[in-house]
Structure 1
Amino acid sequence: MRTLILCCSFFLLLSCDWLTNTETRTQKLVEDELRGIDWNDVDQYPLFEACDETASKTDQRLCFERNLMENLSMSLQDFRFTSDSDLQSTVYIDFMVETTGELQVVEMQNDSVLQGQIPQFREVIIKSLRSMPRPEPALKRGIPVRSRFRLPMEITTNRNG
C-alpha cells in the first residue's frame, strides 16, 4: 500500500510538469506556425463582384487586375487632359486595398514633365479609384487583410488633345 501511495504521489508531481510543458510546447508551436506564414502572400486576392472566389489564385489576380483596369478606364473617359506638347510617360500608382475594400493611393511615381503638363492628374486618379465599386478585401487564413498593388499606367498625349 505504501508503494502505491508513493507511486501515485510521484506521478502527481510529474503531471504538474507535463501541464506546464504542454503550455510551453503549445506556445512554441504557435510561434513556429507564425514564423512559417508567408505574410507577403495572400490566400485570396481582392475580388470584384464579377470574379470567382473559387478560381485559382492566379485567375483571381488576373480577374482583379482586369476589373480594376476596366473600371479605371471607364472612370477616366469622363476627363479630358490637354498638354502643350506631345507626352509619353509611364506612371506607377501604388495603392492599397483596405480590409473594408476601400482603395487608397499610397504613392504615385511620375516624371516631372507629366506633373508640369497635367497637374490635376494625381487628383483625377485618386477620385477615379474612390468612385469605382469596392472589391472584397484580400484574405489570409479567412481574415480580411490589407494588400498593396502597383499599377503601371502608360500616358500618351498629343499636343492639345
Structure 2
Amino acid sequence: MKHYYFFLVFLLFTSCQHFEKQVPSEKELLQKELKAINWKEVDEYPSFKDCDKLGNKTQRQQCFFEYLAQLIQEKLSIDTLSILYPELDTIEVKVTIFPNAKMKFEPQFPKDSVAYDTIKIDSILNARLVDFPKVNPAIKRGIPVKTQFILPVIIKVE
C-alpha cells in the first residue's frame, strides 16, 4: 500500500508538466483580437436624439438617415440651386461624422460633370448645411468613431 502512495505522489508531481500550456504573448492576443474585429461595421450607428428612443437598431439607423436627408432637403429647398441647375434633381452628399459629433458635408459629382459649376455648388452647400441638431457619433466597442457615408439628397422644386 505504501508503494501505491509513493507511486501516486510521484505520478502527481511528474504529470504536472503535461498540463503546462504555452501562454500567448500580449502582442499575439492583440493581433488575434484585431483580426477578429469587423472594421467595416459599427456597433451603434450615429443618431439624433429623437431616433434614440426607438428600440430596434435597424429602426434607429433608418430614422437617422431619413431625418438627416429631410434636414438637408429643407436647407437646400430655400436656395437658388434648383433655379441655377434645373436639370440637377439629386445630389449625392458625402457625410462625415467625427467622434466629437462634428459633421462635414461634401458633394459628390460624377467624373464627367462639366455641366455643373462644382465650386459654386460646393460653396452653396457649405453655406446652407450648417446649424444641425446635435448628433451622437457612431460607437464601436464602446468608443465613438468616425463614420462616412454617401447620402442621396433630392432637390425639391417648389
Q: Would you call these one fold, judging by a TM-score over 0.5?
A: yes
Aligned to 1:153: 153
Q: Please name the residue that 2:38 is paired with.
A: 38
CA distance in 1, matches of 2:123, 2:94: 14
Cα offset, 1:106, TM superposition: 4.5
Deviation at 1:151, TM superposition (A): 1.0
Supply the distance in 2 between the matched residues of 1:73 and 1:154 (Cα, whole angstroms): 7
Query: Aligned to 1:150, what secondary structure does the other structure show?
Result: strand
Give the aligned residue type for 2:62: L
Post-superposition Cα deviations, 1:82-137, rounded to whole Å, max 9, x if no partner, equal 23x74145322112101111111345225332327xx6322222233332123110
Q: For this pair of structures, how many residues does the alignment match?
A: 140
List gaps (5 residues or longer) in structure 2.
1-9
Moved more, 73-82 or 43-52: 73-82
Cα RMSD after superposing both structures? 3.0
1:45 alignment partner AA: Y
Q: Deviations over 1:123-160 (max 9, x none)?
A: 22223333212311000011000000101134476xxx
**Cα pair distance change 1:47/1:73, threshold 3 Å:** same
Contact 1:44 1:60 in 2 (8 A): no
Percentage identity across paired residues of the two chains: 24
Query: AA paired with 2:47?
Result: L
Report Cα offsets for 1:61-86 as digits up to 9, x if no partner: 11111110122122223323323x74
Instruction: State the TM-score, normalizing by the size of structure 2.
Output: 0.71
Match of 1:51 in 2: 51
When the two structures are superposed, what TM-score results if normalisation uses the length of structure 1? Answer: 0.70
Give the 3 Å change call, closer, same or farther, for CA 123–150 of structure 1 in structure 2.
same
CA distance in 2 between partners of 1:71 and 1:30 (Å): 42
Q: Does the CA contact (< 8 Å) of 1:95 and 1:105 recur in 2?
A: yes
